[in-house]
Structure 1
Amino acid sequence: MPSKKLDRIDRKILEEIQRNGNISNLELAEKVNLSPSPCSRRVRQLEEAGIIDRQVTLLNQNALGLPLTVYIHVSLEKQLPKTLENFERSITSYNEVLECALITGSDADYLLKVLMPDMSYYEKFLLKELNQIEGVSSIRTSFVMRQVISRTELPLSHIN
């Protein structure tokens, strides 16, 4: 649970700004039935509490020539702290990697979500970058054929 107690209005604010991060305070206040000053104050409190982490603009990957979404399972030779730290430090330098998670319940140690322009680019990334990270023992790749759901909004139904 968040450290700040969230009420129905906070939840509505969060739902609205997740849908449209560009919404003006005046529009937001109208949608959540508050006057502008209290609405602005609540947004600031949500930011200060760390509930609103940051605001970003979402770009269209296809329009930018990045139609290939790849999930990569990476296994390391050993799960020693030094090996994990080295891999994590190395992987953060690749802009193509949108997500990297240390996982369990799989043969892999890490799951990466990567965007690429094409297979040729992926081949170079695999051979010249990923395979070169010390401690990597195996790599398994899955290519997304069709994106069924892609959300950025967090579920808030558990908040009363």
Structure 2
Amino acid sequence: MPRSEIDGIDRKLLVALQQDARLTTEQLGRRVGLSASPCARRVRLLEAAGVIKGYVAVVDQSKAGLPISVFVSIKLERQREEELDRFAEAVARWPEIVDCYLMTGQRDYLLRIVVKDLPAYETFLKQKLTRLEGVASIESSFALGQVKHSTVLPMIET
């Protein structure tokens, strides 16, 4: 993307696509006040710049048979680069981990793990997480319910 900033029309495009990525170019253009051709060009530029990373279907976790979300705090024995890299490589391989954040504060990582039931989490914990070299402690918290979930970033004008 040749320009360095996202303008107001780009923000409108991003909001509309986050709400419904299946909009046609014509529908999208109508929402943001552009004809189809310049609309398609802007979307291509946003894709090329990596602002739009891809398109996905948002799946209902419970209806897909995966109702359990577990938030797991991980403390490593050491926070050297090689230990951090080894941990990141391991968690990237495990589909049960849907989110992983490197954190500041008391813990090094915060994970969100999605499983079908408690025995599935126990298996994941015993066969994967506890076997990782360099993990000093693991704390699990089970979500009782979801108050808010959004895949739409707040594209506020700056």
Considering the TM-score relative to the shorter chain, is it more than 0.5?
Answer: yes
SS state of the match for residue 152, structure 1?
Answer: coil
Tell me how far 1:4 sits from its aligned partner.
Answer: 2.8
Confirm whether residue 17 of structure 1 aligns to residue 17 of structure 2.
Answer: yes
Confirm whether residue 150 of structure 1 aligns to residue 145 of structure 2.
Answer: no
Matches within 5 A, 1:4-153: 4-105=4-105, 107-153=106-152
SS state of the match for residue 44, structure 1?
Answer: helix
Moved over 3 A (4+): none
Structure 1 residue runs without a partner (length 5+):
none
Tell me how far 1:6 sits from its aligned partner.
Answer: 2.3
Query: After the TM superposition, which of the residue ranges 8-17 and 130-139 deviates more from structure 2?
Result: 8-17
- One-letter amino acid of the counterpart of residue 102, structure 1: L
- One-letter amino acid of the counterpart of residue 114, structure 1: I
Q: TM-score, normalised by structure 1?
A: 0.93
- One-letter amino acid of the counterpart of residue 74, structure 1: I
| Rounded Cα–Cα distance in structure 1 between residues aligned with 2:79 and 2:4 | 36
Give aligned pairs, total. 156
| Rounded Cα–Cα distance in structure 2 between residues aligned with 1:142 and 1:119 | 12
State the identity as a percent. Answer: 39
Q: TM-score, normalised by structure 2?
A: 0.94
